[in-house]
Amino acid sequence: MGGQYRITGDKYPRLRRPRRRRRLVLSAIASMALVGLTGWGTLQLIDVFTGGGDEATAAGPKADCSTRATASPSPRAAALPRPAQITVNVLNATPRSGLAKSTAEELKKRGFRIGTVGNATKEYDKKVSGTAVLLGAKAAADAALPVLGTQVKGAEPKTDGRPRATEVDLIIGTGFKSLTAKTDADKALTALSKPTPAPSTTPKNC
């Protein structure tokens, strides 16, 4: 290159991109980040005020999800036999004569079927110090025995190996005075026949 303008040395001017374009790109990125943060913060506030919390995963509900108890009817009440389905053997384990007969007559008036009426066996004769012992099969523990127990307050239930669940023994002890008053016994029998709510847990606000 001739003339009075000459380039000397080994350094040459560099061509640079306009700084304005770089600023525009940085501004756009910053704006997008700000919008994203604002949206995330808004969702967090909504969860706080609405109690939404974390969503359940596809595998199931949250592990720390609170639960509440709900009542479901117990199947026990449906299996209880009626007094007319229960045969009661009334056995006297006391020295008082005629006690088994008078007790059996009253139970019959209350709807129970009467089986054997007499003295208790040697295993229990003069050996029952409480009100009475209610003796029946293992299957009667949650059926016939509690039904008969509504008529004899304070009686002790026991089970043996007999096959029939609807045949039970009422062994009268020395502490026996009389059967439970009929009105009270009827109330207890009605309460026993009603389904008992069994608590169960169900997820709440999951």
Tokens 């039970």 sit at which residue?
168
Does any domain span residue 133? Answer: yes
Does any domain span residue 101? Answer: yes
Q: What is the reported pLDDT for 90?
A: 98
Does any domain span residue 179? Answer: yes
Does any domain span residue 74? Answer: no
* Confidence class for position 193, pLDDT limits 50, 70, 90: confident
How wide is the angle at C-alpha 152 spanned by C-alphas 136 and 181, nearest 5°?
A: 150
Question: pLDDT tens, 82-91?
Answer: 999 999 999 9
Does any domain span residue 158? Answer: yes
Nearest Cα neighbor of 91 from 136, 25, 48 is 136
Which H or E element spans position 191? helix 182-193
Percent of the chain with pLDDT over 90: 55
* Confidence class for position 115, pLDDT limits 50, 70, 90: very high
**Concatenated DSSP letters for 26-66?**
HHHHHHHHHHHHHHHHHHHHHHHHHT--SPPBTTBS-TT--
Does any domain span residue 129? Answer: yes
* Confidence class for position 79, pLDDT limits 50, 70, 90: confident
Question: pLDDT tens, 163-177?
Answer: 999 999 999 999 999
Span 169-194, mean pLDDT? 95
Beta partners for 169? 89, 135
DSSP letter for 143, please: T
C-alpha–C-alpha distance, residues 124 and 93, integer Å: 6
Burial of 148 (0-12, 13-18, 19+ CB in 10 A): buried
The answer, as to whether pTM is greater than 0.85, is no
- 21/162: higher pLDDT: 162
C-alpha–C-alpha distance, residues 33 and 75, integer Å: 61
Structural domain count of the chain: 1
Range of the domain at 119: 83-191
Reported in sequence order, the residue ranges of the chain that DSSP labels E, i.e. its strands, are 67-73, 87-92, 113-119, 132-137, 156-160, 167-172, 197-203
Q: Domain holding 100: CATH number? A: 3.30.70
Does any domain span residue 47? Answer: no
Nearest Cα neighbor of 115 from 87, 135, 91 is 87
Does any domain span residue 24? Answer: no
Q: What is the reported pLDDT for 96?
A: 96
Nearest Cα neighbor of 91 from 63, 117, 123 is 117
The region of weakest confidence among 39-43, 100-104, 136-140, 184-188 is 39-43
Question: pLDDT tens, 4-39?
Answer: 555 555 555 555 555 566 666 677 676 676 656 666
N residues, the chain: 206
Percent of the chain with pLDDT over 70: 58
